[in-house]
Chain A
Amino acid sequence: MNGPLLELTGVTRQFGGLKAVSDVTLSVPQGEVIGLIGPNGAGKTTLVNVITGVHPASAGTIRFAGEDITRLKPWQAARRGIARTFQIVQPFPEMTVLENVAAAAMFAGGVRYGRDAEHEAREHLRFVGLGDYADRDASALTLAMRKRLEFAKGLAMHPKLLLLDEVNAGLNATEVDEALALIRAIAGRGVTILIIEHLMKVVLSLCSRIVVLHHGELIAQGEPQAIIKDPRVIQAYLGRRYAGTEASNGG
């Protein structure tokens, strides 16, 4: 396929008078892992919601795999290959772990209802290391396991693009390392990933490119090493004083 997988042009999302996302233009090439960072309230999650159709864009266009998806509903976006995980994990609590993943496979992944979906769900669960928990209720899992479940659900949707919203929040150091390995493995399957993340260790080790949002605006994008030295980014996170005099002029 030619051109980027996901392409945002002048995307704005307003809530009343508040522009949560303002005129964002961005392209995500096929097969890359892009980091989306920014201070709290920068509009990162809103941007993901705009892409997936939860809060449709007020202005601008979103193209995915060459198709205009700006006005699509979440379930339509899901069937076209956009999967997301939630900052606060959202399994179906009274279903088994297996059923949770099977649901993703049959509704978004287009797998047939019944044994096919179940069979595929088991594979994904083994891949994320939850093979032994398939028949437990989803509500019985620990937080770290629920995050893995989110990965399995995401994979079962047969995604072209996976949007990871703070998948490492609330995990300890060991669990973060495990999640990192998992994300690498998923990327290794050729899935394009857009990851919202606060842990710089994760972002720096995974991403080929980083995009920075601040007050809903895209203030910088580029290679990780360049981004962490960018005065505008430092200023957004730490304020003018720390950004130094050059930064004040540049900002």
Chain B
Amino acid sequence: MKRDALIAVVLFALVALVPFSGEAYWLRLGTTMLMYGVIAMSWNFIGGMAGYPSFAVAAFFGLGAYTGAVAQKFGLPMGLAWTCAGLAALAFAALLGVALLRLRGHYFAIASLVVAEVLRELVNSATELTGGGMGLNLPIPTMTSIDAQAAFFFYAMLGLVAITFAAMLLTTYSKLGFGLRCIQQNESAADMLGVDTTFYKVSAFMLSGVFVGMAGAVYASWVHYIEPPDVFDVLFSVKAIVMVLLGGAGSVFGPLFGAALFLSLEELVWRKFLEVHTGVLGLLIVLLVMFLPKGLLSLSNRLPWARKTR
């Protein structure tokens, strides 16, 4: 655990140097990548650790974005608005979890998929509060320059990544993480061994919601303008799953690694395959799942110098 924490600190310190490159493109890409990192790590709580294939990421993201935006509209300072968004996602995940986590496997996946659609319709129709389909403008942050703004949101996302990573690391090495592993492997047997499965699953679901909600709010402040199809995009949910599968489900660095790799693929491969890029993506996923079901990071265990971590 200490080793992982140390690696993470060094990694985050290196990433923190990106704004000094002065390249707006790298900064924008970096901010997006960090946001993907938060999303992937968050999915790992429920999907990787507990083994529940959640598609609720988009719902938490959109809820967070709109909570933050509306809070800022009513004059709350940015930091407070982001906190509100996190709390809203946390509470929503708790309520949703109690209802949905009775379902298992595909049934849970489908039920969680619908939630984002329902929220989008609600936001669409609550025109007075959210602007409905016209979207919502956010106050432009009072910063000296465009560059300073970009750097600010980069560091905000990096901070969120650090918090999410810390939460994931602590959970992995705690009784909660151990109980979730039991549930992932055999829920009925875990129940029989005295694991309060409902409590554990709902806790994992709440952890998978809170940081995504905050990321949504940071995103909203960053881009100044949000609309329902943008933040309740089901692709957020799909991407989260793909990123974790790419990197390695249930492992500590897998989600972050997967997020970086996924965004690199998006940037490098897509522009070369404009016509068939979804086809290429699909092919890549199939190959990965078939030959490396535990993600690319599992390759490192096959190297001779890699010591077995247990």
The chain A residues found within 8 Å of chain B, CB to CB, are: 52, 54, 73-75, 78-79, 84, 86, 90-96, 99, 103-104, 106-109, 113, 135, 153, 157
| Distance (whole angstroms) from the CB of B178 to the closest CB of chain A | 7
B182 contacts A96, C-beta separation under 8 Å: no
Judged by a CB distance under 8 angstroms, whether B29 is at the interface is no
Judged by a CB distance under 8 angstroms, whether B140 is at the interface is no
Q: Which residue of A lies closest to B195 (CB)?
A: A107
B185 contacts A75, C-beta separation under 8 Å: no
Q: Which residue of A lies closest to B199 (CB)?
A: A75
Are A78 and B193 also in contact (CB < 8 A) when A92-B185, A93-B185 are?
yes
B192 contacts A74, C-beta separation under 8 Å: yes
A108 contacts B193, C-beta separation under 8 Å: yes
Q: Which residue of A lies closest to B191 (CB)?
A: A74
B:181-208 near A, CB below 8 Å = 181-182, 185-186, 188-197
The chain B residues found within 8 Å of chain A, CB to CB, are: 174-175, 178-179, 181-182, 185-186, 188-197, 310
Q: Which residue of B lies closest to A113 (CB)?
A: B175
Are A113 and B178 also in contact (CB < 8 A) when A90-B186, A94-B185 are?
yes
B193 contacts A103, C-beta separation under 8 Å: yes
A75 contacts B191, C-beta separation under 8 Å: yes
State in angstroms the CA–CA spacing of A91 and B182 once bound together: 10
Closest 3 CB pairs between A and B? A108-B194, A78-B194, A107-B194
Per DSSP, chain B at the interface is helix
A90 contacts B189, C-beta separation under 8 Å: yes
B182 contacts A79, C-beta separation under 8 Å: no
24 contacts between A and B (CB under 8 A): A74-B191, A75-B191, A75-B192, A75-B193, A75-B195, A78-B191, A78-B192, A78-B193, A84-B192, A90-B188, A91-B189, A92-B182, A92-B185, A92-B190, A93-B186, A95-B181, A103-B178, A103-B195, A106-B175, A107-B190, A107-B193, A113-B175, A153-B193, A157-B193
State in angstroms the CA–CA spacing of A107 and B176 once bound together: 11
| Distance (whole angstroms) from the CB of A126 to the closest CB of chain B | 20
Which residues from chain A contact B181 at a C-beta distance below 8 Å?
92, 95
Are A103 and B197 also in contact (CB < 8 A) when A73-B191, A92-B189 are?
no
Q: Which residue of B lies closest to A102 (CB)?
A: B178
Which residues from chain B contact A52 at a C-beta distance below 8 Å?
192
State in angstroms the CA–CA spacing of A92 and B194 once bound together: 14
B179 contacts A107, C-beta separation under 8 Å: yes
B175 contacts A75, C-beta separation under 8 Å: no
Interface centre among B174, B182, B191, B193 (most CB of A within 10 A): B193
Interface centre among B188, B195, B196 (most CB of A within 10 A): B195
Which residues from chain B contact A108 at a C-beta distance below 8 Å?
193-194
| Distance (whole angstroms) from the CB of B225 to the closest CB of chain A | 46
State in angstroms the CA–CA spacing of A175 and B189 once bound together: 24
Which residues from chain B contact A91 at a C-beta distance below 8 Å?
186, 189
State in angstroms the CA–CA spacing of A54 and B175 once bound together: 24
State in angstroms the CA–CA spacing of A103 and B176 once bound together: 11
A113 contacts B174, C-beta separation under 8 Å: yes
| Distance (whole angstroms) from the CB of B197 to the closest CB of chain A | 7
State in angstroms the CA–CA spacing of A126 and B310 once bound together: 21
A104 contacts B191, C-beta separation under 8 Å: no
State in angstroms the CA–CA spacing of A153 and B192 once bound together: 11
State in angstroms the CA–CA spacing of A99 and B197 once bound together: 18
B185 contacts A104, C-beta separation under 8 Å: no
Which residues from chain B contact A153 at a C-beta distance below 8 Å?
193
Which residues from chain B contact A90 at a C-beta distance below 8 Å?
186, 188-189, 192
Which residues from chain B contact A74 at a C-beta distance below 8 Å?
188, 191-192
| Distance (whole angstroms) from the CB of A149 to the closest CB of chain B | 12
State which of B185, B191, B194, B196 has its C-beta within 8 Å of the C-beta of A95: B185
A157 contacts B194, C-beta separation under 8 Å: yes
State in angstroms the CA–CA spacing of A84 and B196 once bound together: 17
State in angstroms the CA–CA spacing of A86 and B186 once bound together: 13
Given A74-B188, A106-B178, A107-B179, 8 other A-B residues pairs in contact with their CB atoms under 8 A: A78-B193, A79-B194, A90-B188, A92-B181, A92-B182, A103-B195, A104-B194, A107-B195
| Distance (whole angstroms) from the CB of B190 to the closest CB of chain A | 8
B192 contacts A103, C-beta separation under 8 Å: no
Which residues from chain A contact B192 at a C-beta distance below 8 Å?
52, 54, 74-75, 78, 84, 90
| Distance (whole angstroms) from the CB of B307 to the closest CB of chain A | 14
Which residues from chain B contact A92 at a C-beta distance below 8 Å?
181-182, 185-186, 189-190
State in angstroms the CA–CA spacing of A86 and B188 once bound together: 11
State in angstroms the CA–CA spacing of A79 and B195 once bound together: 9
Which residues from chain A contact B197 at a C-beta distance below 8 Å?
75
State in angstroms the CA–CA spacing of A2 and B153 once bound together: 68
State in angstroms the CA–CA spacing of A230 and B181 once bound together: 49
Which residues from chain B contact A106 at a C-beta distance below 8 Å?
175, 178
